[in-house]
Amino acid sequence: MGWETWFIVTLSRTLAYGTPLLLATLGEIYTERSGVLNLGVEGMMIMGAYAAFSTAYTTGSPWLGIMVGALVGGAFSLIHAFASITLKANQVVSGLSLTMLGLGLSGVLGRGWEGRPLPVSIPEITVPGLSKIPFLGPMLFEGQNLIAYFSILLVVVMWYILYRTRIGIAVRAVGENPAAADSLGISVNKVRYLCTIVGGILAGLAGGYLSVAYRPAWTEGMTGGMGWIVIALTIFAFWNPAIGMLGAYLFAALYHLSFRLQPWVSPELLKAMPYAFAILVLIAISRGTLQKKMGAPAALTLPYSRSEE
Amino acid sequence: MRGIVKRFPGVVASDGVNLGVRQGEIHCLLGENGAGKTTLMRILYGLYQPDSGEILLAGKPVKITSPSVALAHRIGMIHQHFRLVSTLSVEENVILGVNEGMGPFLRLGKTRKRIAAITDEYGLSVDPKAKVWQLSVGQQQRVEIIKALYREADILIMDEPTSVLTPQEVDQLFATLRTLVDDGLTIVFITHKLNEVMQVSDRVTVLRQGKLVATLPTSQTDKPSLARLMVGREVVFRLEKNPPQQGEKLLQVSRLHTLNDRGLPALRNVSFEVYGGEILSVAGVSGNGQTELAEVLTGLRKATSGRILLGGKDITNRSAREITDDGVAHVPAERIKMGTVSNMSVRENLILKDYRHPPFSRGIFLNYKKAEANARRAMAEYQIAAPSDSSAAKLLSGGNIQRMVLARELSGKPRLIVAVHPTYGLDVGATEQVRQVLLRQRERGAAILLISEDLEEVMALSDRILVMFSGRVMGILDAEEAEAGEIGLMMAGVQREGVRR
Amino acid sequence: MKKPSLFRVERRPTLPGHVVVLVSILAIFAALVAAGIFFQAYGISAVRAYQLIVKGALGSRLGLAETVRRAIPLLLCGVGLTIAFRALFWNIGAEGQLLLGAVAAAGVALFSGLPDVLLLPAMFIAGFLAGALWGLIPAVLKARLGINDVITTLMMNYIALYLVEWLIHGPWRGPTMRGFAYTDKFPSAATLPTISWTRIHWPTLLLGLAVAVLAYVLITRTRAGFEIRVVGENPEAARFAGISAFKTTLFVMIISGGLAGLAGVGEAAGIHRMLLGPTSISMGYGYTAIIVAWLARRNPLAVIVTSLLFGVIMSGGDVIRVSLGLPFQVINLFNGLILFFLIGSELLMHYKISFSFRRR
């Protein structure tokens, strides 16, 4: 294999593997921006994956499957929203239990579904015309599916909403200083519920992508810790959708390279990189103005109630 | 506002207040801390609901159930602690929560034009694209004003707007306020500084202990009479008190400087002495450096320069632990947030500082038998009412918590006692007891530094009175000769002739 | 209250111990009922499932033994977590700290060349130190730079996981293992004795019980425990009393990480007798221990009971996995449900509901 082909395949696979990471990270960025830490990404993803697969298998429509996956992810996130926003329970514990519950529930529900191939999966498409572009064509416009392109579109849209619309300003205000938002008539709980649900829908979508598009099959625990990479990526992205895209593809490339570079670099150590990066990023932005510019939303994990000071 | 009553557990924060504000005036609300100024305005802004009474706007009764309703009635409020989102830009803060049609989309061009119009008209220059955390406090306040004007507020409530500003910024603010009222706005200005009332207001309303004392045109009054109205009775009650037995010089503070949490100077060149057997009170309106003074003296805040000598030994910038061991007791202002651990027992709270020393400590272990005996004794001596010495401190009433803190802090027979607002929020009985305890310590020969905003208390307890204003010592008066009106003026930053500095 | 109502809800000023126990038991019961309803809806007889669990995990000598051997790592990790949680340090990283303990034990067992008598003690010491070190990193990051402890401890778990993967695939792969990703078997002097016919490595069990008692004494009877509680309950009061939050944080994480490390030594030297895949070493003990400590209300002695309870769930889960053909993940279903019902009950616990039929 020439280095050109090698390069093309690597980037093409990066795009494919990066897509679920990107989708779930976008969701978690919104959730955390509103001040809610949801450690249940892994659980929501696997529930989405299971729901998408079983629906696609039963109805024969992978698109319906992936939509059901997104809905189930969103519904599942409601449990966390209720516990952490309404009951003001500890977000860490609630998120962890969401992950456990998702893994457990999907494992039991999916018992009979293992090893069945999906007759119709979401097709890989070749963009006519564009794929003829030398080098870039096969890299970006061949053998991808629509969801990959959709996720890139989503980056633009979600970035725009977060930074350039009234909604985004409200989301950031609620995560940063809920008391200020509240004093201007913004419902803190409503914003947080919606952002948590957005996170759930996108995690469910990411799971659905895995089970009906990326590798059209169902295996117990098939998300394999991707949800935790998403948590790391959210930090790595400084809670910014655009950097989130960069990070998702970077981590996906690392993942892919961990197989390719096996003779030279240990794949296990490459796989540990995302997690180490996340810690390094936190150290790098822990001081002074960087904390303000790129740090975590100030009210992250803090429940809000209007107190009479 | 008619007959406004608002009760909080234990206090009536607003007691049948009738406040009338005319359109196009600057109306000052004057009163000491806890007089009910802020409560009254929070009711007007919809943050609190009154227990009774009604609000009339231009003659029509209105129900203001939340800040959004207040905003819809074109009432804006600028809180003492700004409600800004520091990571957002100025323009984002301004449009936060404003609905201008266009759904979620912004019309930044139009927004910027409107902001520019406001800033130009009223001289509120601030970069609309700057992030709020990059701005100075004065600039942040301008953003708050712009926010209110952008929402087309007709009535603007400002809660102690000058407390965080430099003198230059204050002048600028006052000029802005003048232009605003010239344009027909109405401003309610909460303050406890007499200078400001005289300088800026058209009319002034004085509140004391939740009651409205008087509403006067500013031109028909002067600082001394306002001070009298604000502080209350001219003659304050005296406690039975033996003549001072001044002992040795126990605390000497010289040229002390420190910074507050925002990194701005909080103490400037503060020097004084406290002798054994005397109570030196620090009088002043809150936020003038008293809290920081107590923290520097007890090792909880670093001095940037200056020296603190305790009985001749330099304790400047030593740790809280070392200073405690040197015989300094601290009755903190935040008696619940700082002075107690609510979920731990009375017994354990009573040894919070002494747990490292015998008899409570035995090697690496704690001696709970001794702690229990200690608790029994302290509860009897200080009349701490608690279900038992093993019940959690959070079950105690405010007065009993303060008794517990005093019992702990005074148990080691300290040489110096730093007591901050020791009777704030306590009922009459507890207040009386706390004062008696302090007097007993004085008789024992301890040096007592009493920081209080309650002028009656200061006058009644102290031997000497130090008045602080904006981090400086305005003067030290002999309590026998001091007069409330004079102290009130000094607290408000008016320099007196012939006062020792 | 304006309207007369049938019942009143009041906030309890304090939580009496029996209420906590009662509500916790109710929460677990509710979670089990929920799981049962789920099984039933799924076409598995809930009664039969629970019969199997009880019989399998408690009804036979072997089942009981499996329950106890599952409880050992939960006990050690759980006790450590109660101490970290007391100081309000969110250690989600027991899983990684446990793995590091196993790694250290394997390192000593395979490569130290120590005389046989010293081997096991050295493994325990090394395991404690390795776990403590893994816990210290997030502790320092939080105490010095204010970095969120939840995230760092969580990330450290995955770094530990891939470290183990790397070791067994790379430098430590056993030459005698025919290409499998294991280290060599430990020498017999580096393995823990077990109660005959069971997998209960009793030295670790005794260690765990002793540690639970010692931790209880530490928290309730010593100066250090007093400081830990003050820092956890009210950091401002700690500052006021001159207690160093930095030292306290480091101290609790040395203990918390170290105890998880000991659990790792136990699993490596008592069960597997080699270092193997991280998910085989641990099976999520570090995460389950969070529930164990939470349910024990941060009381180290209560961890003895709660770790056994989750031992039942884990070994019971094993039984129904085999008999009913359910996946291994069924354990997570129980864990997740119990945890949720516990959080839900938290709020309930703080309110007293009293019924009254008189108009007020």
Confidence at B246, pLDDT banded by 50, 70, 90: confident
Query: A89–C346: do the CB atoms touch at under 8 Å?
Result: yes
Q: Is the pLDDT of residue B222 over 70?
A: yes
Confidence at A288, pLDDT banded by 50, 70, 90: low
| Chain C positions touching chain B (beta carbons under 8 Å) | 13-14, 221-226, 229-230, 233-234, 236-237, 239-242
Strands (E) across chain C are located at 7-11, 351-355
b/e map B379-414, b = 16+ CB within 10 Å: beebebebeebeebbebbebbbbbbbbbbbbbbeeb
Chain CA centroid to CA B100, Å: 39
Of C223, C237, C242, which has the smallest distance from its Cβ to B341's Cβ? C237
The closest of C76, C92, C82, C139 to C265, measured between CA atoms, is C76
| Alpha-carbon separation of residue C303 from A2, B166, B175 (angstroms) | 60, 57, 66
Instruction: Choose the mutation target among B365, B388, B418 for the interface with C, i.e. most C CBs under 10 Å.
Output: B365
Q: Is A285 at the interface with chain C, CB within 8 A?
A: no
Query: A181–B96: do the CB atoms touch at under 8 Å?
Result: yes
The closest of B451, B422, B425 to B437, measured between CA atoms, is B422
Comparing C263 with A129, the larger pLDDT belongs to C263
Number of A:C CB contacts under 8 A?
145
Confidence at C4, pLDDT banded by 50, 70, 90: very low
Of B332, B392, B395, which has the smallest distance from its Cβ to C240's Cβ? B332
Q: What is the mean pLDDT of residues C11-36?
A: 84
The closest of C282, C289, C284, C280 to C308, measured between CA atoms, is C289
Q: Is the pLDDT of residue B221 over 50?
A: yes
Q: Please check whether residue A82 lies inside any domain of the structure.
A: yes
Residues of chain C found within 8 Å of residue A43, distances taken between Cβ atoms: 336
Distance in angstroms (rounded) separating the CA atoms of residues A209 and B8: 56
Of A43, A96, A269, which has the smallest distance from its Cβ to C162's Cβ? A269
Query: A279–C155: do the CB atoms touch at under 8 Å?
Result: yes
Q: Is the pLDDT of residue A124 over 50?
A: yes
* Low-confidence winner among A132-141, B172-181, C37-46, C215-224 (lowest mean pLDDT): A132-141
Nearest C-alpha in B relative to A174: B85
User: What integer pLDDT is reported at residue B235 of this predicted model?
Assistant: 39
Structural domain containing residue A259? 3-294
Give how many domains chain A has, as a whole number: 1
Q: Please check whether residue C10 lies inside any domain of the structure.
A: no
Distance in angstroms (rounded) separating the CA atoms of residues B306 and B252: 11
Query: C222–B334: do the CB atoms touch at under 8 Å?
Result: no
User: What integer pLDDT is reported at residue B238 of this predicted model?
Assistant: 54
User: What integer pLDDT is reported at residue B9 of this predicted model?
Assistant: 56
Residue with tokens 């519950």: A101
Confidence at A309, pLDDT banded by 50, 70, 90: very low
Q: Is the pLDDT of residue C2 over 60?
A: no
Residue with tokens 């490596």: C268
Distance from CA of B383 to the nearest CA of A (A): 30
Distance from CA of A271 to the nearest CA of C (A): 7
Q: How many CB atoms lie within 10 A of CB A62?
A: 25
Nearest C-alpha in B relative to A172: B88
Of B48, B84, B106, which has the smallest distance from its Cβ to A308's Cβ? B48
Distance in angstroms (rounded) separating the CA atoms of residues B115 and B495: 40
Confidence at B240, pLDDT banded by 50, 70, 90: low
C123: left (phi over 0), alpha (psi -120 to 50) or beta: alpha
Query: A169–B92: do the CB atoms touch at under 8 Å?
Result: yes
Judged by CB atoms within 8 Å, which residues 71-100 of A form the interface with C? 79, 83, 87-90, 92-94, 96-100
Distance from CA of B93 to the nearest CA of A (A): 8
Q: Is the pLDDT of residue B333 over 80?
A: yes
Residue with tokens 């770790």: C307
Comparing B47 with B341, the larger pLDDT belongs to B341
Q: What is the mean pLDDT of residues B163-192?
A: 85
* CB contact at 8 A, C272 and C110: no
Confidence at C3, pLDDT banded by 50, 70, 90: very low
**Backbone CA torsion sign across B7, B34, B386, B344:** positive
Confidence at B252, pLDDT banded by 50, 70, 90: very high
Distance in angstroms (rounded) separating the CA atoms of residues C278 and C272: 12
Q: Is C287 at the interface with chain A, CB within 8 A?
A: yes
Comparing A121 with C161, the larger pLDDT belongs to C161
Structural domain containing residue C201? 74-306
Nearest C-alpha in C relative to B394: C13
The closest of B12, B83, B78 to B41, measured between CA atoms, is B78
Q: Please check whether residue A300 lies inside any domain of the structure.
A: no
Q: Is the pLDDT of residue C356 over 60?
A: no
- Give per-residue pLDDT as tens, C304-326: 999 999 999 999 988 988 888 88
Query: C158–A93: do the CB atoms touch at under 8 Å?
Result: no
Query: B96–A167: do the CB atoms touch at under 8 Å?
Result: no
Distance in angstroms (rounded) separating the CA atoms of residues A140 and A272: 27
Token pair of C119, please? 């081997």
Confidence at B50, pLDDT banded by 50, 70, 90: confident
User: What integer pLDDT is reported at residue C101 of this predicted model?
Assistant: 98
Token pair of B309, please? 């000598």
Q: What percentage of chain C has pLDDT greater than the value 70?
A: 93
Distance from CA of C194 to the nearest CA of A (A): 31
Work out the angle at residue C173's Cα, subtended by the Cα atoms of residues C167 and C175, and round it to the nearest 5 degrees.
165
User: Per mean pLDDT, which of B95-109, B419-433, C165-179 is the most reliable?
Assistant: C165-179
User: What integer pLDDT is reported at residue C6 of this predicted model?
Assistant: 55
* CB contact at 8 A, C285 and C71: no
Query: C234–B339: do the CB atoms touch at under 8 Å?
Result: no
Comparing A268 with B304, the larger pLDDT belongs to B304
Query: B83–A180: do the CB atoms touch at under 8 Å?
Result: yes
How, if at all, do strands B464-469 and B447-452 pair? unpaired
Residues of chain C found within 8 Å of residue A102, distances taken between Cβ atoms: 336
- Give per-residue pLDDT as tens, B11-22: 677 788 888 888
Residues of chain A found within 8 Å of residue C145, distances taken between Cβ atoms: 283, 286-287
User: Per mean pLDDT, which of A122-126, B481-485, C194-198, C209-213 is the most reliable?
Assistant: C209-213
Q: Which amino acid, B286?
A: S
Radius of gyration of chain C from Cα atoms? 22
User: What integer pLDDT is reported at residue C355 of this predicted model?
Assistant: 55
Work out the angle at residue C104's Cα, subtended by the Cα atoms of residues C102 and C105, and round it to the nearest 5 degrees.
65
State the CATH number of the domain containing residue A65. 1.10.3470
| Alpha-carbon separation of residue B501 from B270, B472, B495 (angstroms) | 10, 10, 10
Q: Is the pLDDT of residue C292 over 60?
A: yes
- Give per-residue pLDDT as tens, C120-134: 999 999 999 999 999
Q: Which amino acid, B125?
A: S
Alpha helices (H) in A117-213, listed in sequence order: 136-140, 146-164, 166-176, 178-183, 188-209
Q: What is the mean pLDDT of residues B387-409?
A: 90
Q: Is B336 at the interface with chain C, CB within 8 A?
A: no
Q: Which amino acid, A62?
A: P
Burial label for A208, CB within 10 Å (0-12, 13-18, 19+), is buried
Q: How many CB atoms lie within 10 A of CB C235?
A: 15
Cis amide leading into B359 (omega within 30) = yes
User: What integer pLDDT is reported at residue C14 of this predicted model?
Assistant: 67
* Low-confidence winner among A213-217, A227-231, B161-165, B195-199 (lowest mean pLDDT): B161-165
Q: Please check whether residue A306 lies inside any domain of the structure.
A: no
Q: What is the DSSP string of A115-130?
A: TPPPSS-PPPB--TTG
Q: Please check whether residue A234 lies inside any domain of the structure.
A: yes
Confidence at C23, pLDDT banded by 50, 70, 90: confident
Distance from CA of A93 to the nearest CA of C (A): 8
User: What integer pLDDT is reported at residue B37 of this predicted model?
Assistant: 84
Query: A282–C154: do the CB atoms touch at under 8 Å?
Result: no
User: What integer pLDDT is reported at residue A53 of this predicted model?
Assistant: 95
| Alpha-carbon separation of residue C71 from A35, C199, C210, C303, C307 (angstroms) | 36, 12, 14, 10, 5
Q: Please check whether residue A302 lies inside any domain of the structure.
A: no
Distance from CA of B184 to the nearest CA of A (A): 24
Residues of chain A found within 8 Å of residue B85, distances taken between Cβ atoms: 172-173, 176-177, 180-181
Q: Is the pLDDT of residue B101 over 70?
A: no
Q: What is the mean pLDDT of residues B23-32?
A: 88
How, if at all, do strands B2-8 and B52-57 pair? antiparallel
User: Where do the domains of chain B lie, and which CATH numbers do they carry?
Assistant: 2-231 (3.40.50.300), 235-327+414-501 (3.40.50.300), 340-411 (no CATH)
Of C169, C325, C344, which has the smallest distance from its Cβ to A111's Cβ? C325
Confidence at B3, pLDDT banded by 50, 70, 90: low
Chain CA centroid to CA A90, Å: 22
Q: Please check whether residue A301 lies inside any domain of the structure.
A: no
Query: B67–A184: do the CB atoms touch at under 8 Å?
Result: yes
Distance in angstroms (rounded) separating the CA atoms of residues A54 and A60: 10
Q: Is the pLDDT of residue B236 over 50?
A: no
* DSSP symbol at B469: E
Distance in angstroms (rounded) separating the CA atoms of residues A38 and C235: 26
User: What integer pLDDT is reported at residue C240 of this predicted model?
Assistant: 94
ipTM of the predicted structure?
0.87
Give the three-state DSSP class for B252: strand
* DSSP symbol at A212: I
User: What integer pLDDT is reported at residue A9 of this predicted model?
Assistant: 81
User: What integer pLDDT is reported at residue C148 of this predicted model?
Assistant: 86
For C149-188, the three-class secondary structure string (H helix, E strand, C coil) is HHHHHHHHHHHHHHHHHHHHHCCCCCHHHCCCCCCCCCCH
Q: Is the pLDDT of residue B297 over 80?
A: yes
Number of A:B CB contacts under 8 A?
71
Strands (E) across B197-248 are located at 203-208, 211-217
Distance in angstroms (rounded) separating the CA atoms of residues B67 and A300: 24
Distance in angstroms (rounded) separating the CA atoms of residues B125 and B173: 12
Q: H-helix or E-strand containing A288?
A: helix A288-294
Q: Please check whether residue C149 lies inside any domain of the structure.
A: yes
Q: Is the pLDDT of residue B237 over 50?
A: no
Residues of chain C found within 8 Å of residue A92, distances taken between Cβ atoms: 90, 92, 150
User: What integer pLDDT is reported at residue A246 of this predicted model?
Assistant: 93
Of B87, B99, B103, which has the smallest distance from its Cβ to A292's Cβ? B87
Q: Please check whether residue A46 lies inside any domain of the structure.
A: yes
Give how many domains chain C has, as a whole number: 1
* DSSP symbol at B132: G
Q: Is the pLDDT of residue A62 over 70?
A: yes
User: What integer pLDDT is reported at residue B294 of this predicted model?
Assistant: 95
- Give per-residue pLDDT as tens, B134-147: 888 888 999 999 99
Q: Is the pLDDT of residue C92 over 70?
A: yes
Token pair of B194, please? 């007499």
Residues of chain A found within 8 Å of residue B71, distances taken between Cβ atoms: 184-185
Q: Please check whether residue C45 lies inside any domain of the structure.
A: no
Q: Is the pLDDT of residue C193 over 70?
A: yes
Query: B105–A166: do the CB atoms touch at under 8 Å?
Result: yes
* DSSP symbol at A211: I
For chain B, give the mean pLDDT.
86
Nearest C-alpha in A relative to B134: A289
Of B47, B83, B88, which has the smallest distance from its Cβ to A172's Cβ? B88
User: What integer pLDDT is reported at residue A305 of this predicted model?
Assistant: 79
* CB contact at 8 A, B252 and B273: yes
